[in-house]
Amino acid sequence: MKKITSVVLLFSLIALTMVGCSGGTSGNKEIAFADAGWDSIKFHNAVAGIIAEEIYGYSWREVPGSTTVLHEGLLKGEIDVHMEVWTDNLATYGDDLAEGKLKELSINFDDNYQGVYVPRYVIEGDTERGIKPLAPDLKYVWDLKDYPEVFPDDENEGMGRMYGAIPGWEVDEILHKKYLHYGLDDNFIYFRPGSDAALATAITSAYDKGEPIAAYYWEPTWLLGMYDMVLLEDEPFDEETYTEGETELPAVKVTVATSNDFAEDNPEILEFLSNYKTSSQLTSEALAHMQETGDDYIETAKWFLRENEELLDEWLESEDAETMKNYLNK
Amino acid sequence: MNTDWLYDFPFKIPIDLGAIDDAVRGFSTKYDSFFNVIRSALNGFVNSIYNILDFIPWFVLILLVFIAGWKLSKKISTGILYGASLFLIGAVGLWDLMNETLSIVIASVIISLLLGFPLGILISTSDRADRIVRPILDTMQTMPVFVYLIPALLFFGLGKPPAVIATTIYAIVPIIRLTNHGIRQIDREVIEASLAFGSTKLQSLVKVQIPQALPTIMAGVNQTLMMAIGMVVTTSMIGATGLGMEVLIGVNRVEIGRGLVSGTAVVIIAVILDRITQGFVQRSEVRSDGK
């Protein structure tokens, strides 16, 4: 008896599920965004996703993966739109673009700084928090040499610690060369933090305590949007020698790209995506807002668009921009 | 037909995750000096172990491993195999990194044994303590490492101290469990006999129960050691240098060769330490059987 009941129950559940499914998806257009895992790409996905949903009637989802996997997905058409292609990190991007395997729609941002940062209070002090300026003359990367005792490494007496990049990132090698190039190895340890999370925690923790720290970081990130950090200056950028660590690091061109199939079938939304342009600064601000309030990506995207309404005018036809503004201020 | 109610959970408890973040971060700032003391103590501990390892000339260590392998297995070929594989680590230029890794592993194992062994005895004597500790041990073993790794970073900074703490949390469990188990599985008659012959509880514990349970306890030591080595790569993600960092760099750069060589070095260390401690396990079995 019990068995029969459970079988009946199971079948009715299956039947209900089918009813539920058939109601939803039919006839809808869907965008598959690339989700490379970091905050800013998820944020841009949400911004573009909301607009695609409200103006063009798309539904959207995110496909997670690593940078290279997502790039392959874009070439094969399994990913429709990639909101943040870090072109320098993809060895094959230039060739693939030249061969027409994908379409580059716009430059999302190209003002993203990276390099060795220290909290502003280390240089200027912070009277409110009662922090004295410990390294008032720190301006250039090589000035660190004068302040090993300000950034002590607690595993090696008398040495300073400079937090490098994540092991395996190309910039990690460049930074290490820079560290040697400026002779910081005399009294500094080049400390590899091991992971993105560990590096962020080290900086957060030092900042909370008002302690000095010298660490590699990059924009756009919530961390640099939220904390007042100063990028240590370096020799002006030179394409020939920056990989040897002799000049400052370049800004990476971060583009919005789409697969050929999607570009062919969806000319309308392509226009919007081709106009899509933000900046590293704006992205960092939004991510910092998200970190502070604990909102999700969608809420943050809405907040961001409300704060920066002029972007809508740039991206969309004036009519659609009005619709979007009305929706956001609802 | 709207069937959402079938699949959507009816309510959601609003947990203030931000408050937890703030509490942990506030705690770390407030008791900074306290954590600094622990941090420098752990640093000193790991460094002194490293200095000892570093002080031992390479051939002496290889010789020691050779003798240990030979004596424990009673076969000279085994000793030669262990010595040769250790030689291999030095030959590919990973000797210093091995010492760094070993110093973290040994420090964690020593702390695990110092805390875990008494705790295991304690919960073997009390069912109530056993009931309380057991779920805690389960949590320690199954909680994803990064969940407590990040708070450990807030408290102890990056590098070796949080690595030792994370490794200890993970590796302390087997020694507690197996000490407990070893003592509990002794026949009641044996304990009763010891008490009947007039030994105190403490005498019975030290002279009868612990020797009886020694093979199981040694298996716990072995497991603790193995789990500590298993954490080597994970702890490199919070900046612990050594072989784990080599593996991490190799893997992150898709330098398969580099990852493979340093990974193999970790395996060699693990196997040698495993065989040597297991040799001790077997010895202790022989001894307690011979009683």
Helix axes B32-55, B145-156, angle to 10 degrees: 100
Rounded Cα–Cα distance for residues A51 and A315 (Å): 10
Give the pLDDT confidence score for residue B66 in this predicted structure.
Answer: 93
Task: Looking at the structure, tell me whether residues A175 and A216 fall in a common domain.
Answer: yes
Q: Which of A209, A244, A279 is where one domain is finished?
A: A244
Of the three residues A211, A244, A277, the one that is the final residue of a domain is A244
Which domain CATH number covers A265? 3.40.190.10
The residue of chain B with its CA nearest to that of A292 is B18
Are A284 and A309 in the same domain? yes
Residues of B in contact with A154 (CB under 8 A): 39-40, 43, 157, 159
- Note whether A268 and A323 are same-domain residues: yes
- Does the model's ipTM exceed the 0.85 cut? no
Q: Out of B1, B150, B251, whose CB is closest to A19?
A: B1
Judging contacts by C-beta atoms under 8 Å, the chain B residues touching residue A13 are: 6
Q: Chain A closest CA to B146's CA: distance in Å? A: 9
Co-location of A76 and A40 in the same domain: yes
**Residues of B in Cβ contact (< 8 Å) with A24:** none
**Distance in angstroms (rounded) separating the CA atoms of residues B77 and B81:** 6
Asked if the Cβ–Cβ distance from A191 to B253 is below 8 Å, we say no
> Domain check: are A270 and A303 in the same one?
yes
Contacts of B240 in chain A (CB under 8 A): 194
Judgement on whether residues A105 and A151 belong to the same structural domain of the protein: no
Q: Are A142 and A236 part of one and the same domain?
A: yes
Contacts of A191 in chain B (CB under 8 A): 158-159, 239
| Chain A nearest CA to B173, separation (Å) | 25
Compute the radius of gyration of chain B from its Cα atoms. Answer: 23
Q: Nearest CB to B150: which of A168, A192, A201?
A: A201
Residue of A nearest to B160 (CA): A155
Q: What is the DSSP letter of B208?
A: I
Burial A221-254 (b: 16+ CB within 10 A, else e): bbbbbbbebbbbebbeeeeeebbebbbbbbbbbb
Is A236 among the domain residues? Answer: yes
- The answer to whether residues A205 and A105 belong to one domain is no
Instruction: Specify whether A174 is located in the same domain as A204.
Output: yes
CA distances to A57, B64, B230 from B110, rounded to whole Å, are 62, 20, 16
DSSP state of B92: T
Most confident of A235-244, A257-266, B111-120, B121-130: B111-120
Q: Does A156 touch chain B (CB under 8 A)?
A: no
Q: Does A197 touch chain B (CB under 8 A)?
A: yes
- Give Cβ neighbours of residue B133 (< 8 Å, ≥ 6 apart): B119, B123, B176
B205-261 tens-digit pLDDT: 888 888 889 889 999 999 999 999 999 888 988 888 899 988 988 877 777 888 899
In a domain, A14, yes or no: no
Say if A5 falls within a structural domain. no
Residue A299, class by beta-carbon neighbours within 10 Å (0-12 exposed, 13-18 middle, 19+ buried)?
middle
How many domains would you assign to chain A? 2
| Two tokens, residue B77 | 């070929």
CB B208 within 8 A of CB B169: no
Tell me, what CATH number does A234's domain have? Answer: 3.40.190.100
The pLDDT assigned to A118 comes to 94
State the residue range of the domain holding A136: 114-244
Determine the residue of chain A that is closest to B48 in CA distance.
Answer: A155
| CA distance linking residue A11 with residue B79, whole number of Å | 65
Q: With contacts defined as CB-CB under 8 Å, which chain B residues touch A204? A: 25, 154
Same domain, A153 and A219: yes
Residue pLDDT, tens place only, A173-218: 889 999 999 999 999 999 998 888 889 989 998 998 889 999 999 8
pLDDT at A7: 67
Q: Please indicate if any CB of chain B lies within 8 Å of the CB of A23.
A: yes
Return the structure tokens found at A225: 């949007």
- Among A235, A236, A194, residue whose Cα is nearest residue A215: A194
In the stretch 224-283 of chain A, residues with CB closer than 8 A to chain B read: none
Q: A198 and B29: CB-CB below 8 Å?
A: no
Give per-residue pLDDT as tens, B124-179. 988 899 999 999 999 988 888 888 888 888 888 888 999 999 999 999 999 999 99
A18, part of any domain: no
Q: Determine the average pLDDT of the residues in B261-265.
A: 93
Q: Is the pLDDT of residue A17 over 60?
A: no
Residue A15 binned pLDDT confidence (cut-offs 50, 70, 90): low
Question: What chain A residue is nearest to B5 in terms of C-alpha separation?
Answer: A20
A71 lies in a domain?
Answer: yes
CA distance A187 to chain B (A): 18
Q: In this structure, is residue A13 part of a structural domain?
A: no
Q: Within a domain: residue A24?
A: no
One domain for residues A118 and A104: no
Question: In the 3-class helix/strand/coil scheme, how is chain A assigned residue by residue?
Answer: CHHHHHHHHHHHHHHHHHHHHHHHCCCCEEEEEEECCCHHHHHHHHHHHHHHHHHHCEEEEEEECCHHHHHHHHHHCCCCEEEEEEHHHCCCHHHHHHCCCEEEEEEEECCCCEEEEEEHHHHHCECCCCECCCCCCCCEHHHHHHCCCCCECCCCCCCEEEECCCCCCHHHHHHHHHHHHCCHHHCEEEECCCCHHHHHHHHHHHHHHCCCCCEEEECCCHHHHHCCEEECECCCCCCCCHHHCCCCCCCCCEEEEEEHHHHHHCHHHHHHHHHCCCCHHHHHHHHHHHHHHCCCHHHHHHHHHHHCHHHHHHHCCHHHHHHHHHHHCC
Domains and CATH numbers, chain B: 22-55+92-289 (1.10.3720.10)
| A184 is a domain residue | yes
Which residues from A are below 8 Å from B48, CB to CB?
none
User: How far does B39 lie from chain A, in Å, by closest CA?
Assistant: 9
Residue B252 to residue A166, Cβ atoms within 8 A: yes
Q: What is the nearest CA distance from B86 to chain A, expressed in angstroms?
A: 27
Q: Which amino acid is at B230?
A: G
A40 & A99 share domain:
yes
Domain ends where: A190, A218, A244?
A244
Q: Find the CB nearest A191 among B32, B239, B253.
A: B239
